[in-house]
């Protein structure tokens, strides 16, 4: 766990430094060359610096051990950080959109961007591709959705830079300065839409839902391997950071001793951890065979899973 946290913190610093260099370069060149689209791309990279800082802080909070106030630890700090990040990105995009619309409505006269804007945009694309590949690798290696998402975000930034490049080429070739402003406006809308999507995706984890309900099928398949474990029900799974917390009830022969019933429950826990990756903990409640309680309202049984829509 300590090694994983060190890798995540190091990756956060790489992202901060990389985006800071790109943002500074694009903002300076954008103002010098007179390209609003390059300035817009620089603002987007500046938002990435903030996202990397938020990720760095979240990584340090996540590494704190559980305590009496937070017995599950602090791993959901990355979800809270994602919410904060999405709002910061949206505000950056909104501010860019407002300033660009004002320039369009006021019909501000702007010159044709110089060629240096094209060169820095090409350099930015190369940098974003490198960051994207690195962050997705870190996310996959450490099973971190936060870094996998950042890798995808960097890839989207590369597409933004590509749009800027196309706009710059069109502006230089056709000598129509308004194209540059239109590209800047499109980028601002893209930034805001992306922020909204990030915000909505994080709702599932905050509400203890699952992005991949197929996990339940894997759970029941694993439990069927355990002799003596019957009728798994009230099965619930939720994510804590990048890991799963699983609760379920099983039924056993009522004539078994407490130790024998405990051994079956322990086997269920072991086989789940063996068959399913990234399990944080498993809580197994043992009941006598045929037990039925009318007030059991939560969780799934295997029969209910088969009756779910789409099954």
Tens digit of pLDDT for each residue in 93-111? 787 788 778 777 876 545 5
Write down the mean pLDDT value for the chain.
80
- Reported as a pLDDT band with limits 50, 70 and 90, residue 3 is low
Identify the residue with better confidence: 129 or 261.
Answer: 261
The band of 160, judged by pLDDT with boundaries at 50, 70 and 90, is: confident
Burial class (CB in 10 A: 0-12, 13-18, 19+), 23: buried
CB 284 within 8 A of CB 268: yes
Tell me the CB-side half-sphere exposure of residue 31, using CA atoms within 13 A: 7
- Given this model, what pLDDT does residue 195 score? 81
User: Which pLDDT does position 107 carry in this prediction?
Assistant: 66
**Does the domain at residues 2-206 carry the CATH identifier 3.40.710.10?**
no
Of the candidates 5, 15, 35, the residue with the CA atom closest to the CA atom of residue 130: 15
pLDDT at position 1 is 56
pLDDT surpasses 60 at 310? no
- pTM, to two decimals: 0.64
Domain ranges of the chain: 2-206, 214-306
DSSP state of 285: E
pLDDT at 236 over 80: yes
Higher pLDDT, 304 or 39: 39
pLDDT digits (tens, 9 = 90+) for 163-213: 777 777 777 777 666 776 777 788 778 878 878 887 887 787 777 777 777
Which H/E stretch holds residue 13?
A: helix 2-33
Q: Which residue has the higher pLDDT, 181 or 17?
A: 17
pLDDT at 180: 66
In terms of C-beta distances under 8 Å and separation of at least 24 residues, what long-range contacts does 44-47 make, across chains too? 44/92, 44/93, 44/157, 44/160, 44/187, 44/191, 45/19, 45/124, 45/157, 46/19, 46/92, 47/88, 47/89, 47/92, 47/93, 47/191
User: Quick check: 249 pLDDT over 60?
Assistant: yes
Give the confidence band of 79 by pLDDT, cuts at 50, 70, 90. Answer: confident
**Regarding predicted confidence, which is higher, 31 or 307?**
31
Q: What per-residue confidence (pLDDT) applies to 247?
A: 93
pLDDT at 139 > cutoff 90: no
Q: How far is 118 from 164, CA to CA, in rounded Å? A: 9
Write the DSSP symbol of residue 249.
E
pLDDT of residue 199: 84
Parallel, antiparallel, or unpaired: how do β-strands 243-252 and 279-288 relate? parallel
For residue 308, pLDDT beyond 70: no
The domain defined by 214-306 carries CATH number 1.10.3720.10: no
Q: What is the pLDDT of residue 73?
A: 82
User: Strand 243-252's sheet: what is its strand order?
Assistant: 230-240, 243-252, 279-288
């Amino acid at each position: 766990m300590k090694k994983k946290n060190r890798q995540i913190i190091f990756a956060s610093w790489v992202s901060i430094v990389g985006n800071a260099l790109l943002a500074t370069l694009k903002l300076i060149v954008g103002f010098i060359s007179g390209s609003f689209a390059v300035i817009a791309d620089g603002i987007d990279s500046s938002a990435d610096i903030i996202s990397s800082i938020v990720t760095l802080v979240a990584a340090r909070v996540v590494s704190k051990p559980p305590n009496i106030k937070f017995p599950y630890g602090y791993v959901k700090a990355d979800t809270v950080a994602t919410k904060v990040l999405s709002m910061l990105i949206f505000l950056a995009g909104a501010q860019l959109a407002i300033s660009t619309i004002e320039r369009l409505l006021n019909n501000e006269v702007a010159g044709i961007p110089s060629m240096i804007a094209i060169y820095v945009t090409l350099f930015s694309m190369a940098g974003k591709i490198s960051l994207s590949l690195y962050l997705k690798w870190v996310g996959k290696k450490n099973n971190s959705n936060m870094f996998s998402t950042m890798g995808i975000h960097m890839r989207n930034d590369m597409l933004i830079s590509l749009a800027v490049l196309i706009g710059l080429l069109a502006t230089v070739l056709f000598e129509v300065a308004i194209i540059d402003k239109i590209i800047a406006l499109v980028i601002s809308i893209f930034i805001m839409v992306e922020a909204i999507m990030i915000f909505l995706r994080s709702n599932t984890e905050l509400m203890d839902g699952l992005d991949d309900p197929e996990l339940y099928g894997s759970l029941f398949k694993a439990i069927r391997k355990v002799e003596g474990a019957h009728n798994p029900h009230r099965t619930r799974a939720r994510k804590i950071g990048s890991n799963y917390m699983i609760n379920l009830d099983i039924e056993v022969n009522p004539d078994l001793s407490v130790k024998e019933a405990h051994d079956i429950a322990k086997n269920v826990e072991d086989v789940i951890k063996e068959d399913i990756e990234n399990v944080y903990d498993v809580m197994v409640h043992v009941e006598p065979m045929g037990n039925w309680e009318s007030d059991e309202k939560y969780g799934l049984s295997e029969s209910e899973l088969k009756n779910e829509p789409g099954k």
